[in-house]
Amino acid sequence: MVHTWSSLISTLFLLLLCITGLPLIFHHEVDELLGYDPKPEIAQPGAVKRSIDEIARTALAHDPGRVLQYISWDKDEPNNVIAFTNNKVDGDPDAATLRAYDAHTAKPLGPVGGGPMLIFLKLHVDMFAGQPGKLFLGAMGFLFLVAIVSGVVLYWPFTRRLKFGTLRDKSRRIAWFDWHNLLGAVTIAWALVVGATGVINTLAEVMLGQWKANELADMVKPYAGKPPPVHLASLDTTLANAHKTAPGMNVSFVAFPGTPFTSSHHFAVFMRGDTPLTSRLLKPVLLDGETGEVSDARDLPVYLKALLVSQPLHFGDYGGMPLKIIWALLDVMTIVVIGSGLYLWIVKRRKHRSHAIAKQPSLQPAR
Amino acid sequence: MIDARKPRSSGNWLTVYGGPLLIGALSIAGLLSALLYEGLGRYFSWLTLGAPVALTAWFYARRKRQRF
């Protein structure tokens, strides 16, 4: 019963998630192909990188009337400097414009993201329904986890007399039943991890709010009551100070004062390491918006670290192209599990109905 | 679901859950290895996470062979 209902309620949405998730595995490749992932020019040997202040000015000149929210550095393409502009510092994330600039020439390289992949992404993340949509999909993901666990429990009575990997073709129903069991059994661990990390990701905003209300509020206490900075400090000075505070780390992105990732007084520079794991574990350095002096740097709380580490485990983007292909195959196998489960339920129901007409008592779901 | 219960062996814990458990353990190891160890961990993850796909293909091929 638990297995039937937890799956049934979430089936449509899980199919949506699995199907939109499939192209998203190759997000990067598709964006590159369609020109939404601009590449920097090959730098001349000995070329010097432009100042970030200059790139920031270029970005603002490119989108007049807008303000900078973030500047980020692509991990795999360090010469790509990506500027996020919006109509105001805490503007709607959907209204943000992302443009890449060449680190050596400060030349605009073109918009980042957008295109068809953005539509898949929105469908996958919140079905264009904002935060409620996101939390709803999180709940569906949770039902998916319940369905998997209850499926493991049901696996025993249904397969205990069958050899692992039995695929019979006596009837269509038995064939799909065997496929449901086999594919479900071999993908369990992967599906649990991808499902659970997906659910964690739907809570990102909630976690960020928690961090801002506690840790961040505590860090910016000395600034309580002060007006926001009028004249912003030089970005180059700010970034150099952040580097000194977190030696050996690189800048992932800098959040401008007043954006959702920082306080209204501070730049927050998020530093990253360079291994697959430490590159996800960001360390924020808070710097005074007017002077660029470091005011505090603390590791993120455990729940945000868990969120950051859970992301690659959901995306499958941390083990090269072969891992992405495997991710896609496992996703297709999961689609078959969900589809065959739905089919088996429909067939069983139809059978019950015809039974019910013939003889009333067998209406109870058979186990 | 009726035909799933053939009166042969009653089945034991290991024959039912052994295979899926092994595949599951390998999958988890692969998911983590690529995250923790860049070079070798990556290759290991391809093998272990590819195992469910390969095993399924093998079962499918075996069934076809048995039929003809």
User: Rounded to whole angstroms, how far apart are CA atoms B33 and B39?
Assistant: 9
Please indicate, yes or no, if residue A69 is contained in any of the structural domains.
Answer: yes
Residues A46 and A156 in one domain: no
Which strands, in side-by-side order, build the sheet including A283-288? A108-111, A97-102, A80-86, A67-73, A250-255, A266-272, A283-288, A294-297
User: Rounded to whole angstroms, how far apart are CA atoms A189 and A184?
Assistant: 10
Residues A211 and A334 in one domain: no
Residues A288 and A154 in one domain: no
Please indicate, yes or no, if residue A82 is contained in any of the structural domains.
Answer: yes
The answer to whether the CB of A99 falls within 8 A of the CB of A83 is yes
The reported pLDDT for the residue numbered A290 is 94
User: Rounded to whole angstroms, how far apart are CA atoms A20 and A10?
Assistant: 15
Tell if the CB–CB gap between A165 and B19 is shorter than 8 Å.
Answer: yes
Q: Is A24 helix (H, G, I), strand (E, B) or coil?
A: helix
- Residue A173's alpha-carbon distances to A151, A155, A348, in angstroms, are 18, 17, 9
Q: Is A339 exposed, middle or buried (0-12, 13-18, 19+ CB in 10 A)?
A: middle
Q: Side-chain half-sphere of A261: how many Cα atoms within 13 Å? A: 23
The answer to whether the CB of A182 falls within 8 A of the CB of B58 is no
Token duo for residue B8: 């042969």
User: Rounded to whole angstroms, how far apart are CA atoms B28 and B12?
Assistant: 24
Please indicate, yes or no, if residue A180 is contained in any of the structural domains.
Answer: yes
Please indicate, yes or no, if residue A362 is contained in any of the structural domains.
Answer: no
Q: Does residue B68 register a pLDDT over 80? A: no
pLDDT tens string B16-55: 889 999 999 999 999 999 999 888 999 999 999 999 999 9
Q: Which residues of B touch A161 (CB under 8 A)?
A: 4-11
Residues A311 and A242 in one domain: yes
| Closest among A210, A198, A215, A212 to A307, alpha carbons compared | A198
- Nearest Cβ partner of B53 from A159, A185, A329? A329
Tell if the CB–CB gap between A182 and B56 is shorter than 8 Å.
Answer: yes
Interface test with chain A among B8, B53, B60, by most A beta carbons within 10 Å = B53
Q: Which residues of A touch B35 (CB under 8 A)?
A: 276-277, 309, 312-313, 318
Please indicate, yes or no, if residue A364 is contained in any of the structural domains.
Answer: no
Residues A196 and A208 in one domain: no
Using a CB–CB cutoff of 8 Å, tell me whether B66 touches chain A.
no
The reported pLDDT for the residue numbered A349 is 87
Q: What is the DSSP string of A144-161?
A: HHHHHHHHHHHHHHHHTT
Using a CB–CB cutoff of 8 Å, tell me whether B64 touches chain A.
no
Residue A89 has a CB neighbour count (10 Å cut-off) of 18
- Which single residue is written with the structure tokens 């926001």? A228
The reported pLDDT for the residue numbered A363 is 33
Strands A108-111 and A97-102: antiparallel
Using a CB–CB cutoff of 8 Å, tell me whether B29 touches chain A.
no
The reported pLDDT for the residue numbered B39 is 86
User: Rounded to whole angstroms, how far apart are CA atoms A216 and A61?
Assistant: 32
Using a CB–CB cutoff of 8 Å, tell me whether B39 touches chain A.
no
- Using CA coordinates, name the residue in chain B closest to A185: B20
Number of helices followed by number of strands (H, E) in chain A: 11, 8
The Cα of A343 is separated from the nearest Cα of chain B by a number of Å equal to 13
Residues A217 and A273 in one domain: yes
Q: Which residues of B touch A157 (CB under 8 A)?
A: 5
What's the average pLDDT block by block, 10 residues per block, for chain A (367 residues)?
86 96 95 88 85 96 94 90 95 91 93 90 94 96 95 87 87 93 96 97 95 94 88 96 95 95 95 90 95 94 95 94 98 97 91 65 37
Phi/psi at A228 (5° precision) = -60, 155
Residues A255 and A220 in one domain: yes
User: Rounded to whole angstroms, how far apart are CA atoms A296 and A286?
Assistant: 5
Residues A307 and A216 in one domain: yes
User: Rounded to whole angstroms, how far apart are CA atoms B62 and B48?
Assistant: 21
Domain boundary among the residues A112, A129, A158 is at: A112
Q: Which residues of B touch A182 (CB under 8 A)?
A: 56, 59
Domain boundary among the residues A86, A112, A138 is at: A112
Q: What is the DSSP string of B3-64?
A: TT--SS----HHHHHHHHHHHHHHHHHHHHHHHH-SHHHHHHHHHHHHHHHHHHHHHHHHHH
Residues A209 and A195 in one domain: no
The reported pLDDT for the residue numbered A75 is 85
The Cα of A193 is separated from the nearest Cα of chain B by a number of Å equal to 8
The reported pLDDT for the residue numbered A351 is 83
Residues A251 and A284 in one domain: yes
Tell if the CB–CB gap between B53 and A183 is shorter than 8 Å.
Answer: no
Tell if the CB–CB gap between B55 and A170 is shorter than 8 Å.
Answer: no
Q: Give the total number of structural domains in chain A.
A: 3
Residues A191 and A306 in one domain: no
User: Rounded to whole angstroms, how far apart are CA atoms A11 and A23?
Assistant: 19
Q: Which residues of A touch B (CB under 8 A)?
A: 155-165, 167-170, 174, 177, 182-183, 185-190, 193, 275-277, 309, 312-313, 318-320, 322-323, 326-327, 329-330, 333, 348, 366
Q: State the Cα angle at A137 between A259 and A344, rounded to 5°.
A: 165
User: Rounded to whole angstroms, how far apart are CA atoms A74 and A253?
Assistant: 9
The reported pLDDT for the residue numbered A227 is 87
| Closest among A130, A171, A110 to A347, alpha carbons compared | A171
Token duo for residue A211: 């961090």
Residues A191 and A303 in one domain: no
Check residues A253 and B11 and name the one with the higher pLDDT.
Answer: A253
Domain boundary among the residues A112, A133, A164 is at: A112
Token duo for residue A224: 């309580």
Boundaries of domain holding A103: 38-112
Tell if the CB–CB gap between A164 and B6 is shorter than 8 Å.
Answer: no
